[in-house]
Structure 1
């Protein structure tokens, strides 16, 4: 059956519609009418030949008239028989209620059901789908296609457009709420003290905290140098009122110098006892975080208090805005790191797929499994689409639609029936004359 693609006219183009259908349908109907005229004309010609041959035979024209009359008679019988068969597919011949006629209008729903079952059994089976996909070699073809730089550029551009569209459609408030809830729920469900203890213990064991201690000592030393008067004033201000002022100043000066000396030694002496005490404190604290129930409970309470603060929730929610803006900007920029990495990944995947038969087999297996799952899970829904669609069509319009597509071939059957019938009739007449004397 030929398939013609044209523009629809402004009427119902569906089989169940009442309009003339598409322009292609109108062209097909005109072609069918021409073939009907030709087939009917051939029948009339044969009938005329039969009449003339019988007249010629009665007038003594000779034996040839009998041969022509026999051929013409059988041609009429063949033409009428095929006319009846073709007409019976679409309507009742001459309007007579003959059984097993008007097959398509009366059996439309059964035909739709049979067509759905035929498609389901022969096209949507596990074996057929797997065999067809395996013969196509999708993995190898996909690899060769992706290995072309222009195709990788095209896929990257399409993915970027889809990503931008998805991020544009999403409402920031909804995403922020989901992100905030997800982070909070995950943090509440996961105890962090043991993990913090393990991390702290690893940092102390590797000496990773020493740079932090060095930085704190250096900053403390610099602060003391710049704010010596403030330290001495604080010490003097805390002295009893009955002590002389010069004594307070002496004590403050002494405290400041000792404090400065202590911090300076801690800064300059990696093996200072205070540093060792700090190492032991951090080690013990890391152990308590992992094993001490009271310490772990305190950390969990502190975590809940921090997460419950509005400022923290706002910070978590606002993180989405920054991430979204960063992704959109990267997706729009053809030279961004994101798009360049995506393009490189696609090219690498394409080259691997084109060469690696194991990877091709995996991809083909995934696609086969997905396709088989779809057709086996939704086979009934797919076949029901065919059955329900055919059932929804108007019987008369369905007949016209089908006749428009296959009517020309059916009219050729009438023509062939006329010719074959005439030849068969002539052959029978010849045999009967030869053996009948």
Structure 2
């Protein structure tokens, strides 16, 4: 940083820190001020010499008139330029130091100008329409560097969000959503409607086939178990050979029965299962007693501790999965996200309809933003200038435009000299001398 001395309205001077760019502007401003002052001094020297010698050298009268006009023009323009930023020579002449005195009004006027002429929906939309942002953004997104940049920024945003978010608060939100959308509505009717569609389409038959097949396998592998069930339940006075005959008969009939159910898709047992399931699906929808039983089961399965544990485990799983994915540039999620970005960018470039929609969305969003918040956006200018110190504001503006304003002093010196020469020449020609 570079420091610049500036007057504070008294004999003391404060040192203000300047950025490198402002320091460069300050140096250019000093050079122009030196040039303008040098030209004024030159005019004064020429005037003094011409005034002293004009009686002996007649044509020096014209030089004197030109120099005199140049000094007047230089002094007048110096006063005008200086009066914008400070009191000339420290004298509090009325209507001087305009910028420091009217800083807030200037800020309000600038804010209003920006609001009226730049922050209007037609202006913003016209600029966005001509810019074709969608295709330009798509061309960048389609490059590996662009997609990688968006992926990195997205990863940083996710990490930042997890840093800011409180786990207990997020779990409370998940728990609230579970209670509102999962537990509050009755389970019976929706489950019944879903089951009815499944049963009507016959999708449950594969499950029935699986159960029957497993039953057949069990019967085939458990001869002793079946026969012992008969022997253990028969009276003690029944002879053993009779128990064995009965047990063997029961096993054979059971095997035949299971085989018949297994081989016949229209078996009465299968029909009974279908009827039971269809009745259950209808009862879950329309029977108050069955609906109440479903609600009781729901409450038993998902009580308060279970819901809180579900919310905790859900959030923990999501958090760890996302963090692991965004921290590993070689993870499947990271690679898929990057690929999706590049594909979307390529579509923006190649598909006119998609690009047109995106441009329209951008235009609508920007138009809504400037229409709704134009006063707030422009108000930033007014509020910022209002917070600035009056002299600091004057210095900031002078550093930006002061060098160009010094040309007014130079032009004033030249124009004044030409005007003085012209006036003297005309007056001399008309009135003589």
Q: Same fold (TM over 0.5)?
A: yes
Residue of structure 1 aligned with 2:44, choices 33, 42, 47: 47
- Contact preservation (8 Å) 1:18, 1:397: no
Residue of structure 2 aligned with 1:61, choices 57, 64, 70: 57
Matched residue of 1:280: which SS? helix
- Structure 1 gaps of 5+ residues are 1-7
Which string of whole-angstrom CA distances, capped at 9 and with x for unpartnered residues, describes residues 95-125 of structure 1?
Answer: 3332211101111111111111111111111
Count of paired positions: 423
| Superposed counterparts of 1:426-437, under 5 Å | 426-437=421-432
| Superposed counterparts of 1:23-422, under 5 Å | 23-58=20-55, 60-62=56-58, 64-167=59-162, 170-234=165-229, 236-237=231-232, 244=238, 246=240, 254-308=249-303, 310-311=305-306, 314-315=309-310, 317-422=312-417
The alpha-carbon deviation at position 50 of structure 1 amounts to 1.4
Partner Cα separation in structure 1 for residue 422 and residue 373 of structure 2: 57
Matched residue of 1:101: which SS? coil
The alpha-carbon deviation at position 421 of structure 1 amounts to 0.5
- Contact preservation (8 Å) 1:116, 1:387: yes
Q: TM-score, normalised by structure 2?
A: 0.86
Matched residue of 2:414: which SS? helix
The alpha-carbon deviation at position 266 of structure 1 amounts to 1.6
Partner Cα separation in structure 1 for residue 68 and residue 151 of structure 2: 73
The alpha-carbon deviation at position 21 of structure 1 amounts to 2.8
**How large is the Cα RMSD of the aligned pairs?**
3.0
Matched residue of 1:100: which SS? coil
Matched residue of 2:16: which SS? coil
Using the TM superposition, name which of 309-318 and 124-133 deviates more.
Answer: 309-318
Task: Report the CA distance shift for 1:110/1:312 in structure 2 as closer, same or farther (over 3 A).
Answer: closer
The alpha-carbon deviation at position 74 of structure 1 amounts to 0.8
Partner Cα separation in structure 2 for residue 222 and residue 381 of structure 1: 78
- Contact preservation (8 Å) 1:176, 1:317: yes
Partner Cα separation in structure 2 for residue 126 and residue 225 of structure 1: 82
Partner Cα separation in structure 2 for residue 122 and residue 165 of structure 1: 38
The alpha-carbon deviation at position 381 of structure 1 amounts to 2.3
Partner Cα separation in structure 1 for residue 99 and residue 248 of structure 2: 114
